[in-house]
Amino acid sequence: MDTSIWAKMKTQPLLSVRDLSKFYGGRIGCADVNFDLFPGEVLGIVGESGSGKSTLLSCLAGHLAPDRGEVIFATTEGPRDTVLMAEAARRRLARTDWAYVHQNPRDGLRMGVSAGGNVGERLMAVGARHYGQIREAAVDWLGRVEIAADRVDDRPNAFSGGMQQRLQIARNLVTGPRLVFMDEPTGGLDVSVQARLLDLLRGLVREMGLSAIIVTHDLAVVRLLADRLMVMKGGYVVEQGLTDQVLDDPQHEYTQLLVSSVLQV
Amino acid sequence: MAVSPGECLGLVGASGSGKSTLMRMIWGNYLAASGSIMVGDVDVAKAAPREIIALRRGTLGYVSQFLRVVPRVPTVDVVAEPLLTLGVPVAEARGRAMALLAQLNIPERLWSLSPTTFSGGEQQRVNIARGFVHPYPALLLDEPTASLDAVNREVVLSLIEGAKARGAAIIGIFHDEQARARLCDRLVDVTQFTPKAVQ
Ligand SMILES: Nc1ncnc2c1ncn2[C@@H]1O[C@H](COP(=O)(O)OP(=O)(O)OP(=O)(O)O)[C@@H](O)[C@H]1O
Ligand SMILES: Nc1ncnc2c1ncn2[C@@H]1O[C@H](COP(=O)(O)OP(=O)(O)OP(=O)(O)O)[C@@H](O)[C@H]1O
Ligand SMILES: [Mg+2]
Ligand SMILES: [Mg+2]
Whether ligand 1 lies within 6 angstroms of the CB of A51 is answered as yes
Give A5's DSSP letter: G
> Tell me, what's the pLDDT at A1?
42
* Residue B56 pLDDT exceeds 60: yes
The reported pLDDT for the residue numbered A98 is 95
Q: Which residues surround ligand 4, an ion (CB under 5 A)?
A: B 20
Strands B8-12 and B138-142: unpaired
Best of B23, B31, B37 to disrupt the A interface (most A CBs within 10 Å) is B31
ipTM of the complex: 0.82
Minimal CA separation from B159 to chain A, in Å:
24
Ligand 2 centre distance from Cα of residue A168 (Å): 44
A28 touches chain B (CB under 8 A): no
Sheet containing strand B8-12, edge to edge, reads B60-63, B138-142, B169-173, B8-12, B186-189
Which chain A residues touch B86 with a CB distance below 8 Å? 1, 4, 6
Predicted confidence (pLDDT) per residue in B105-142, tens digit? 999 999 999 998 898 889 999 999 999 999 999 999 99
> A126-137, pLDDT tens digit by residue?
888 888 999 999
- Residue A101 near residue A187, CB atoms below 8 Å: no
Question: pTM value?
Answer: 0.87
Cβ of A234 closer than 6 Å to ligand 1, yes or no, is no
**What's the mean pLDDT in B141-150?**
90
Name the residue of chain A whose CA is nearest to B87's CA. Answer: A4
Write the pLDDT tens digit of every residue in A202-233: 888 888 888 999 998 888 888 988 999 999 99
Q: Is the pLDDT of residue A7 over 70?
A: no
Q: How far is the CA of B19 from the centre of ligand 4 (A)?
A: 6
Contact residues, chain B to chain A, C-beta under 8 Å = 24, 28-31, 49-50, 52-54, 57-58, 68, 70-73, 84-87
- Decide if B143 contacts B65 (C-beta within 8 A): yes
